[in-house]
Amino acid sequence: MQVTRILAVRHGETAWNVDGRIQGHTDIALNEKGRWQAEQLALALRDEPIAAVYASDLGRAFDTAQAVGRLKGLEVAPHKGLRERHFGRFEGLSWAELERRWPAEALAWRKRMPDFAPAGGESLEQLQRRIIPTVLDLASRHPGEQVLLVAHGGVMDILYRAATRLELTAPRSWELPNAAINRLLWSPEGLTLVGWADTLHLQSEASLDERSA
Query: How many angstroms separate the CA atoms of 26 and 28, rounded?
Result: 6
User: Which positions are annotated as active-site residues?
Assistant: 11, 84
- Strand order of the β-sheet with 76-78 is 76-78, 52-55, 146-151, 4-10, 181-187, 190-198
- How many of the other CB atoms lie within 10 Å of CB of 99? 16
- How many of the other CB atoms lie within 10 Å of CB of 75? 9
Q: Is 212 helix (H, G, I), strand (E, B) or coil?
A: coil
- φ/ψ of 133, rounded to 5, equals -60, -35
